[in-house]
Amino acid sequence: MKIIYSKEVANALNSKPIVALESTIITHGMPYPTNIETAKKVEQVIRDNGAIPATIAFIDGICHVGLEDDEFERLGNDPNLLKISRRDIPVVIAKKLTGGTTVASTMIISNLVNIRVFATGGIGGVHKGANETFDISADLDEFSRTNVAVVCAGPKAILDIPLTLEYLETKGVVILGYKTNKLPLFYSESSEYDVDYRVDSASEVANIMKEKWDNKINGGILIASPIPSSYSIDNKEIDKIISKAISEANLNNIKGKKLTPFLLEKISKLTDNKSLESNIALILNNAKVASEIAKEYFKK
């Protein structure tokens, strides 16, 4: 695999803490130009908090770790780009294709280049109705084998949360609640579900990361960081909206890679863009938390 580093990331390798970022937030997560604006704001939050951002993507079959301005524009303004997960990587390289990386593929590349902290919005998981569709995100299996700590606002609220948690437990993935005892659910800062362990500082997370990997216990760590309270949407309110969006997806036979982008766009419309504002707020917050963790782990 050919890897190109941005100038900023190349200068930081082995000398500064780095935080990885996915690129499906640009290619599939938000409308243009909000997608590019948000991605650049996320990068700036990381810089402002003492780390270096590394947005990961594939462009013409080449893996980019860190993006330049023209690359952001290319990824953000083409509606036909790929959503690249684990299974897609070899095909994308061989056929010289372009697209955004998911949580799973971003973890793979981060691990490959020795970036141990990754900030994202929410992770994928077991979709509702998976007992019939078997629709389970590759993100979950990636956590079981790839040594990256992922800061997120919990599983995406569109998922079957109990089954997602059960799957993570089966795969041996620990969920750390960052300054919380309850699992955040993307748009909502809290839920009825407990996290595995509460952590109250970036240093505490860094210590857990070091002990896990120094002792050859392979796999990722999930750090659930609640959305800021002022942007949190009530669970009952968002559940009704999600149910309506899922019904429309089922009616139109939308599934697989197209399902999550469809649902997020539909939820945004049904909430008069409140969910989009929440989405932006939570990823900015996750970037800040991830920067603090990256700085602490860099000292180890």
Using a 10 angstrom Cβ sphere, with 0-12 exposed, 13-18 middle and 19 or more buried, the burial of residue 85 is: buried
Q: pLDDT by residue for the chain (300 residues), tens digit each? A: 999 999 999 999 989 999 999 999 999 888 899 999 999 999 999 999 999 999 999 999 999 999 999 999 999 999 899 999 999 999 999 999 999 999 999 999 999 999 999 999 999 999 888 888 888 999 999 999 999 999 999 998 889 999 999 999 999 999 999 999 999 999 999 999 999 999 999 999 999 999 999 999 999 999 999 999 999 998 888 889 988 988 998 889 887 778 777 887 888 888 888 888 999 999 999 999 999 999 999 998
pLDDT at residue 195, as a whole number: 98
Residues 17, 290: Cα–Cα separation, whole Å:
10
Which residue range forms the structural domain that includes residue 219?
Answer: 3-298
Structural domains counted in the chain: 1
Chain centre to alpha carbon of residue 268: 18
For residue 31, cis peptide bond before it (omega within 30 degrees of 0):
no
156 is catalytic: yes
Sign of the dihedral defined by the CA atoms of residues 271, 273, 275, 281, in that order: negative
Q: Which residues pair with 84 in a beta bridge?
A: 101
Helix (H), strand (E), coil (C) string for 140-202: HHHHCCCCCEEEECCECCCECHHHHHHHHHHCCCCEEEECCCECCECCECCCCCECCEEECCH
**Catalytic site residue from 22, 43, 142, 189:** 22
**Catalytic site residue from 156, 182, 266, 288:** 156
- What six digits make up the tokens of 234? 């009530």
22 is catalytic: yes
CB atoms closer than 10 angstroms to residue 14: 7
pTM, two decimals, is: 0.93
Pairing of strands 149-152, 221-224: parallel
Instruction: Write the CATH number for 147.
Output: 3.40.1790.10
